[in-house]
Amino acid sequence: MKQKLYSDIDAAIADVPDGARMMFGGFGGAGFPNNLIQALARKGTKEIFAISNNCGTRDGELGILFKLNRIRHIIASFPGPHSNHFQERLAAKEVTIELVPQGILCERMRAAAAGLLGFYTAVGVGTEVAAGKEERVIDGNRCILEMPIHADFAFIKAEKADELGNLTYHLAAQNFNPIMAMAAKTTIVEVEEIVPVGSIDPESVMTPAIFVHRIVQAKGIRYAG
């Protein structure tokens, strides 16, 4: 059986090609896969199509990738007050952004995960985010059609993994991570702790192993930016 455990973080991300569609977990400083992002920066993958709630915090989180000009387009909900590298690239027209309501960002990724082909929502009707989207009325409610967001890779952060890939998250650090784990073709997780198979109670597993493809021990940065 193929092992999911990688001892070398650079090996775990070695096949992420230029132009990859990539999801990055994290919110409010918590649950960011900072060590995976740093490895990606070292590797030099460029022309990335990114999906993330925000756009980096100074040099931290996705900041380093904008600083190095590795991201070409991003789908995000809230770039954030310290996304200065992103804002500079945006002003220089080196990156484009699709701004999405935060819950709709979650649902579009979940739709991809769940094999749904689109959904109707009232969120965003009459606002800038409705531009270019199909609009209709269902049961008297104006709504727009939102499409799934898929990805080649998700970089996520969890607290514990067993060697099969079952995950748990710490406090509010799960945020986008469980959703992205389900939505990407290949999910790579960095964890605080790797535990033996059988040591996570089946009722306590937050992301089942089926969604997790590669596991690395987080070493170095926990919070960045």
Partner 1 sequence: MPDKPRLTREQIAQRAALELPDGAYVNLGWGIPNLISDYLPAGITVFFHSENGILGMGRRARAGEEDFDLVDAMKVPVTLVPGASFFNQADAHLMTRGGHLDVAVLGGFQVSEKGDLANWKIPGAKGSGGIGGAMDIASGTKTVVVCMEHTTRDGAPKIVRECTYPLTGLRCVTTIVTDLAVVDVTPTGLVLREVAPQWTATEVQQLTGAKLNFADAPPEMRLK
Which residues make up the interface to its own copies (CB under 8 A)?
A: 107, 111, 114-123, 138-139, 141, 143, 147, 168-171, 202-204
Q: Which DSSP category does 60 fall into?
A: B
- Selected from 10, 18, 94, 127, the binder of partner 1 by CB under 8 A is 127
> Closest distance between its own copies and the C-beta of residue 197, in Å?
19
Q: Name which of partner 1, its own copies, none residue 120 binds, using a CB cut-off of 5 to 8 Å depending on partner kind.
A: its own copies
Q: Is 168 in the site for partner 1 (CB under 8 A)?
A: no
Of its own copies, partner 1, none, which one does residue 168 interact with (CB within 5 to 8 Å by kind)?
its own copies
Nearer CB in complex with partner 1: 14/114 = 114
User: Per CB under 8 A, does 194 bind partner 1?
Assistant: no
Reference 158, options 149, 166, 147, 148; nearest CA is 166
Instruction: Answer yes or no whether residue 123 interacts with partner 1 by CB under 8 A.
Output: yes
Closer to partner 1 by Cβ: residue 155 or 169: 169
Chosen from its own copies, partner 1, none, partner binding at 2 (C-beta under 5 to 8 Å by type):
partner 1
CA gap 81, 58 in Å, rounded = 9
Three-state secondary structure call for residue 207: strand
Nearest approach in angstroms of CB 205 to partner 1 is 4
Check binding of 24 to partner 1 (CB under 8 A).
no
Distance CA 84, CA 66 (A): 9
- DSSP of 138-162, one letter per residue? ETTEEEEEE----EEEEEEEEEEEE
- Beta bridge partner(s), residue 157: 190
Residue 27 interacts with which of partner 1, its own copies, none, CB < 5 to 8 Å by class: partner 1
Do residues 114 and 139 lie in contact, with contact meaning Cβ atoms separated by under 8 Å?
Answer: no
Q: Mask: binding to partner 1, 54-83, rule CB under 8 A, as x and -?
A: xx--------------------xxxxx--x
3-state secondary structure of 205: coil
Residue 137 binds partner 1 (CB under 8 A):
no
Round to whole Å and give the CA distance between 75 and 169.
24
Q: Which of residues 97-116 bind partner 1 (CB under 8 A)?
A: 97, 99-104, 106-107, 109-110, 112-116
Instruction: Please state, as a whole number, how many other Cβ atoms lie within 10 Å of the Cβ of residue 31.
Output: 24
Kindly tell me which residue out of 149, 174, 188, 190 binds partner 1, with binding defined by CB under 8 A: 174
182 and 208 Cβ atoms separated by less than 8 Å: no
- Say which entry of partner 1, its own copies, none residue 126 contacts (CB below 5 to 8 A, set by partner kind): partner 1
Residues 192 and 157: their CA atoms lie apart, in Å, by 8
